[in-house]
Amino acid sequence: MPSAVADLLAILDLETLDVNLFRGNSPKAGWQRVYGGQVIGQALVAAVRTVEPTRPPHSMHAYFLLPGDPKVPIIYDVNRMRDGRSFTTRHVTARQHGHPIFSMLVSFHADESDQLSHQAVMPDVPLPESLPSEAEVRKSVLPTMPDPVRRYYERERPIELRPVEYERYLGKKFADGRFNVWFKTTDKLPDDPAIHQCVLAYSSDMGLLDTALVRHGRTLFEKEFMAASLDHALWLHRPFRADEWLLYAQDSPNLHGARGFSRGLIFKQDGTLVASVTQEGLVRLRREP
C-alpha cells in the first residue's frame, strides 16, 4: 500500500481515550492550519465508533469554529444524543487548546432500501481514463501556486484528482460555473464500508469551496485570496467504494459578501448517485494594507 494511503488510514484510526472520547493527529504536511476534510473525516470516525455497524451514517452537518493547529492532537468528544428505533444521532465536538474548533451532528439510519427510490442523472463527462493524470496537470499548474500549496501538491497524496475542466486553473472562465472532478484513493482500501464513508467525508472538502470562483476564471490557489470553510454538510445515499473512481459534480449558485456557497453530487462511474454535499466558506480578496 502506498505510504500516502497508509498515512490517511492512520490519521483516520483515532485513539480511544475513554468512553465517547477520542484523539486524532494531523499529518506533517507544512500547512498552517488543519485541512477541513481531515476534521470532518476524523469526527465521523469518532461518531461511527459509538454506533452499531448495522446502522450506517446518512447525513452530517458541521461548522468550523476555529482554525485547527496541525502541531497538536485534536480531541473528539461524542455526545450520544439519541438512539431510536430507526435513527441514531450523535454530536461531535473537536477541541484544541481547551477550545472547540469544530462541531458536527451525525445521523444514522437503519436500512430501508425496499422503499421508493429515484436519483439525479450523472453529467455526461469524459471518463477518468481519458483525462490527463494528476501528474500531467500539475506540470502546468504547480508553477502558479503559492509556495505552501505547491509543497503540498508535490508530496505523495492519498487521493488522486482528475478534473474535467482543468483549464480553469489556467484562467479559463466557465459561464455555467460547473466543475467536475473524478477522484479515488491511490490504492485499495479495506472492505469495511465505514472506512470508505470516512474517506469520502475526508475527500468531500477537496476543492468544493474553490468552485465558487469557476465563473470568474479565478482559483483559491492565487495569493490574492483568503479562504476558509465555514460549514459543511454531507448526505450519504447509497453504497460505494472510495478506492474506485467517483465523479464529484460541483457548482456554485452564489458568491456574495465574501461568502461563497458551493454544492456537489458524487456519482459512481456507472451513474449511481452515492452522496450530496453543500458548503459555504469565506472567499475574500485580501485588502490592501
Between 50 and 146, the higher pLDDT residue: 50
CB-CB contact of 279 with 263 (8 Å) = yes
Question: Is this prediction's pTM over 0.75?
Answer: yes
pLDDT of amino acid 240: 98
- Check pLDDT > 60 for residue 149: no
Mind listing the pLDDT tens digit for each residue in 265-285? 999 999 999 999 999 999 999
pLDDT of amino acid 286: 87
Q: Please state the rounded mean pLDDT for residues 88-113.
A: 96
Average pLDDT, the chain: 91
- Confidence class for position 196, pLDDT limits 50, 70, 90: very high
- Check pLDDT > 80 for residue 244: yes
Indicate the DSSP class of residue 12: H
The grid coordinates listed for 99 are 477550545
- Check pLDDT > 70 for residue 148: no
Catalytic residues: 205, 229, 279
Helix (H) or strand (E) holding 180, with range, is strand 179-185
User: Which phi and psi angles does 273 have, rounded to 5°?
Assistant: -80, 120
pLDDT of amino acid 29: 66
pLDDT of amino acid 25: 95
- Check pLDDT > 60 for residue 171: yes
Mind listing the pLDDT tens digit for each residue in 28-73? 766 678 999 999 999 999 999 999 999 999 999 999 999 999 999 9
pLDDT of amino acid 101: 97
Nearest CA among 194, 276, 180 for reference residue 241:
194
Share of the chain residues as helix, strand and coil, in percent rounded to the nearest 5? 25, 35, 40
3-state SS class at 32: coil
CA dist 99 and 116 (Å) reads 44
